[in-house]
Amino acid sequence: MVEVTVTPQSSLADRPVQIQVRGLSPSQLVTLRASLMDEQGECFQARAFFRADGAGEVDPGHHAALGGSYAGVWPMGLLWFLQPDTLFRRLVKRDVAGSPFLIRLEVFDGLRLVTTPQDEPLATCEAERWYVGPGVQRVPIREGRVRGALFLPP
């Protein structure tokens, strides 16, 4: 049975995570896709093509992506290379303290440049990427023409 995992499943956005796929056939070609929906409902996604090792595993931190949104060994490539489905959109998190970005990771058999809703992934998982740690207090700043926010640790 194919399984994709993200460790840790919930983390701050600037912290590294480890993505692993297990249960593949040795040398199997797969597509890993990361996607998220921003607060305005815009979809961002990245994909990378991998060949499983002899144990039937893929680890973007150790195995080179053969193509897709990037090529080479990039442990966080699926998160760093997220691109909008609509041109000229930017990934911006407005509600930094209230909710995380939910990133969906999917593994597809073979090389998939485009996936349709009918394409069934071999495995899926979700990861949370928070922008503010637990207990951090956000204090709005308004002084003259200066506007901003001060984030105080617990």
Averaged in consecutive runs of 10 residues, what is the pLDDT profile of the chain (154 residues)?
A: 96 96 97 96 96 97 97 96 94 89 97 86 97 91 94 92
pLDDT for the residue 117: 78
Q: Where are the domains of the chain?
A: 3-152
**27: closest CA among 58, 60, 59, 52?**
52
Please check whether residue 68 is in contact with residue 29, taking contact to mean a CB–CB distance below 8 angstroms. no
Q: How far apart are the first and last CA of the chain?
A: 42
Q: With respect to CATH, is domain 3-152 assigned 2.60.40.2240?
A: yes
pTM beyond 0.85: the answer is yes
